[in-house]
Structure 1
């Protein structure tokens, strides 16, 4: 069933969206007459539509200046939209691209009470047996995805997460204590790249990066994992670039600023 159009052309929804876009996208707040001119709507239609948008909290009219501003209700809508996004769906194409580009195992993980939970995984196209499995938990202090997320926690959350770490020595290169971990996290915050250099499993290394939301909070991390024997330094450096770029793209989709 088609949406009826009125005499000025376009549905009521089209007109509301047109006005909302003008209010939100203009660098300088506009008056009613300017909005009418920009949208080419009849005054009565524009007034009625703006009133409806204001009632919903989507635009805000300042009586003193006679200017229209974006409404605070837009923030609530944005928050609900971001909260309802499933990072697995949002990251799926980037995981697949990494898998196709590298032929190695790709992980997607979240952080839960100081532990890593793997929520998605694309298996290597080559022979490789790893600790990880979807739904399985792992330590955060000695995994690439874990450190990637720890690095972007606020201080209170990080302090609690560090207290939750066991600092068991899985290999000779496993970080031994809070001091070593905090030093590593400082570097990760600067580079946006987190490395696992055989810290959890001998012979296995990975390059990871964080996925942030609109509040600059870590909500997940992705990694490329491969055995050390088949990845030289140049290729491993390339992995770091690939995973950082992929996570940046997913972060932007989750509402993070491109400059974060």
Structure 2
């Protein structure tokens, strides 16, 4: 007697697709019927629909089903249309709620960073940054967080475009000093701006990655030095890293 599971046609097709995509080995028709608990006729119909749309493919030789190349096209269009500000909105709010300090989201723009979103601290704090404003990559937390994870050729190209203006006594002013700092960032996953761009202002930043593990942005917490003792600074590091990881996962990045 045929099995009679409940659910819409779409739900059944998605269930079948999920089994094909998550199985560690290619599945045959009989195995998919058992896993999905669908009647054979229904399973066959759903698989044919998925095949027609390129979401699964069938290997005649192995008589087994594989994820279809149509999934890659869908994923590419989805990622291309994602607005990172929308993806990052909830983690940014959570980070703001946890720290009550200013939160920045920034992306690379040629050899600089541009701030694309900002949540202001409810406490009094006047900063250089503003949405749409650009900043140097070599002495901002978000800039260095992105720069550290770029392919070496692109990283070197950007480093050699920097003017290395000394904004404060803490600014890194040579390519060698910056490269040493970038290695530390790669070792820890955290980028620090220790009053390098503005005196009295400290920043903790972390990189954000897409599904191909390419760095696409950075998120940071910025606070006045007098509000950041060692304990609070360590807490901020963990919170920023967690927020960046959350956004990366929402963009499809894997651990």
Which of 134, 137, 144 is residue 137 of structure 1 equivalent to?
A: 134
5+ residue gaps, structure 1: 1-6
Distance 1:97 1:46 in 2: 43
> Matched residue of 2:199: which SS?
coil
Which of 61, 65, 73 is residue 64 of structure 1 equivalent to?
A: 61
Task: Report the Cα offset of residue 61 of structure 1.
Answer: 0.7
Taking a change above 3 Å as real, the CA distance of residues 45 and 129 of structure 1, as seen in their structure-2 partners, is: same
Are residues 1:83 and 2:76 paired?
A: no
Distance 1:164 1:177 in 2: 12
RMSD (CA atoms) = 1.4
Distance 2:15 2:231 in 1: 50
Counterpart for residue 23 of structure 2: 26
Counterpart for residue 4 of structure 1: none
Counterpart for residue 172 of structure 2: 175
Distance 2:58 2:159 in 1: 48
Task: Report the Cα offset of residue 8 of structure 1.
Answer: 6.5
Taking a change above 3 Å as real, the CA distance of residues 89 and 39 of structure 1, as seen in their structure-2 partners, is: same
> Matched residue of 1:128: which SS?
coil
Alignment of 1:2-151 (within 5 A): 9-151=6-148
> Matched residue of 2:236: which SS?
helix
Range that drifts further, 78-87 or 138-147: 78-87
Counterpart for residue 219 of structure 2: 222
Task: Report the Cα offset of residue 71 of structure 1.
Answer: 1.0
CA contact (8 A) 1:151 1:188 kept: yes
Distance 1:110 1:17 in 2: 35
Which of 142, 151, 156 is residue 153 of structure 2 equivalent to?
A: 156
TM-score by length of 1: 0.92
- Structure 1 runs (4+) deviating above 6 angstroms are none
TM-score by length of 2: 0.94
Distance 1:93 1:34 in 2: 40
CA contact (8 A) 1:59 1:72 kept: yes
Number of aligned positions between the proteins: 252
5+ residue gaps, structure 2: none
Cα displacement string for residues 75-129 of structure 1 (whole angstroms, at most 9, x for unaligned residues)? 2212221222111111112211221221211111111101110111111111111
Task: Report the Cα offset of residue 195 of structure 1.
Answer: 0.3
